Structure 1
Amino acid sequence: MERMVGALLFSGGSVLLGRRSAVRASFPGVWDMPGGHVEAGESRRAALDRELAEELGVRPAQGRWWRRETRAGLELTVWLVTRWTGTVANRQPHEHDELAWFARHEVSRLAFPHPAFPELLDAAFDAVDQVPV
Structure 2
Amino acid sequence: MSVTQVTLEEALKNLSSKLEARLVAISASQSEIKVQISAQFSEMKSEIQLLYSKLSEKDKLISELNSRIEYQEQRLLELEAKDRKLSLVVHGLRKEKNGETLEQNLQDILRSSLEIKDNIQITRCQAKTKQCFCSWQCQET
Same fold (TM over 0.5): no
Normalized against structure 1, the TM-score is what? 0.31
Larger strand percent: 1
Task: Decide which structure has the larger Cα Rg and report it.
Answer: 2
Q: Which has the higher contact order (CA 8 A, sep 6+)?
A: 1
